[in-house]
Structure 1
């Protein structure tokens, strides 16, 4: 394993307990935005092209389950008999995979398997997948372009891949506040923690990377949802702990209190009638294998 790959692995290995801690609480919110990814994947069109064969969908960087669980439920539903299939959830961190298995069993999801895999060197044969999904994952690779090329390799002809990607940090005030405040108080921001959330933020450059990887019929859409969260809820904590868990565990009580106070003040402009409405902004980039 290369030093860079070890570094990436270690970042997420140390964060897997934080992801598991928040998984169930965040699942409903994740499912709301996942619909944009699933729509871009176009499962009904893939099922029609498969001619009655069960679909096989690979989810990359599955973390602790989304969107793999949501897609598996769609493919196991009896609402549309023509839409049937199986999901392979994958992640580079064994701890994430172990937690994912436990959650899948607890939720009774039977049409899903879990594989520990590096998305730059997938352990699957060429043309074996009908669809590929990836939610906020490909930007964290050592070589994202290699990951895109390998995704194209394992897709069958006519298969589709859909990637959810963060738009610029200036359009994501929660992340902008987090980066600045943690930098000021703990001396660590995204770059210091080895996290490149915004490597695909420019839609033109992101599209060109997918085209260079061999995809055709490439589309990109941008979405700006904003939830409505009670003023008393420290809603930044889940994202903050899932990205900076080790640093926060090492912080003092005074530092953690200062972080929460500073986050509240930074996001106060989005507070109306006792509720925060902080927008997030992301792209969904999709393409087909010709």
Structure 2
């Protein structure tokens, strides 16, 4: 299958339809569990009615799409993502769970020809921060919303407020300086600036843009050994750049840090996100 991809998204397509997407597909339950405390809050913000047509951007392995479909019991949900492996997991899980009013398509939402005004609601759970040209992307997505249609997005607040990410970024660098990612580049924290979010969405023809700060713990594993195995696999590229002594040192530092963050609920780290709401003019 040939997926039309905007040239500015070619690197993202390579990653998400490659090893990065494969890792997320293989650890679907882990990633869903990590964001679980935000999940229902996002769906509540979307105010999905039983007959709504819903578009889920960056749907991953489909948890948000399936649960949106349960709320839109007489409607329909379309989940789109760059990752063929995650889309395959999403389809299998929808079939297994008997959710018939949801479909999944591998697509670049920045350029995909969505039917104009075809959806009542657009949602995204951490899926809209990776566009190469976010102005173009949100313009395309907004056109798919009917006038008066609603958008609800979940994005991260700045890296410094997200202990679950900043801690291991620092530890696995082993003292090497880490430049901050450019504000306008695609990365998990690219929509952490409220002014940038408002400019992008209003520029796309959306109104009543509101950002609500929310903070929940991110779950990494049932215990230290479980969480450490996951994080070392996720940070494998960083670890590969270190010699054997340095690798042992940073893994032990991560183990000790996780032990301080482990309680009866597992290993959990602080995080902060935005729930963003907007309306199509």
Classify the TM-score, shorter chain. 0.7 to 0.9
Write the distance in 2 (CA, Å) between the matches of 1:236 and 1:122: 38
Q: Please, which moves more after superposition, 65-74 or 149-158?
A: 65-74
Match of 2:116 in 1: 126
- The TM-score with structure 1 as length reference comes to 0.80
Q: Does 1:220 align with 2:225?
A: no
RMSD (Å), alpha carbons: 3.3
Unaligned runs of 5+ in 2: none
Match of 1:8 in 2: 12
CA distance 1:152–1:241, change in 2 (3 Å): farther
Match of 1:65 in 2: 62
Encode CA deviations 1:180-201: one digit per residue, 9 max, x unaligned: 2333399999959x86111111
Encode CA deviations 1:194-234: one digit per residue, 9 max, x unaligned: 86111111223222321222111111101111267765354
CA distance 1:161–1:250, change in 2 (3 Å): same
Q: Does 1:164 align with 2:169?
A: no
CA distance 1:259–1:101, change in 2 (3 Å): farther
Match of 2:92 in 1: 102
For residue 63 of structure 1, report the CA deviation from its aligned partner.
0.8
For residue 11 of structure 1, report the CA deviation from its aligned partner.
1.3
Write the distance in 2 (CA, Å) between the matches of 1:75 and 1:239: 35
Q: Is contact 1:183–1:189 with CA below 8 Å preserved after alignment?
A: no
Write the distance in 1 (CA, Å) between the matches of 2:173 and 2:32: 28
Unaligned runs of 5+ in 1: 48-53, 77-83
Write the distance in 2 (CA, Å) between the matches of 1:113 and 1:214: 27
CA distance 1:163–1:238, change in 2 (3 Å): farther
Counterpart secondary structure, 1:147: helix
Q: Please, which moves more after superposition, 58-67 or 263-272?
A: 263-272
For residue 156 of structure 1, report the CA deviation from its aligned partner.
0.5
Q: Is contact 1:241–1:248 with CA below 8 Å preserved after alignment?
A: no
Q: Is contact 2:131–2:186 with CA below 8 Å preserved after alignment?
A: no
Match of 1:87 in 2: 77
Q: Does 1:177 align with 2:181?
A: no
Q: Map of 1:16-95 to 2, 5 A cutoff?
A: 16-44=21-49, 54-76=51-73, 84-95=74-85
Counterpart secondary structure, 1:18: helix
For residue 261 of structure 1, report the CA deviation from its aligned partner.
2.0
- The TM-score with structure 2 as length reference comes to 0.82
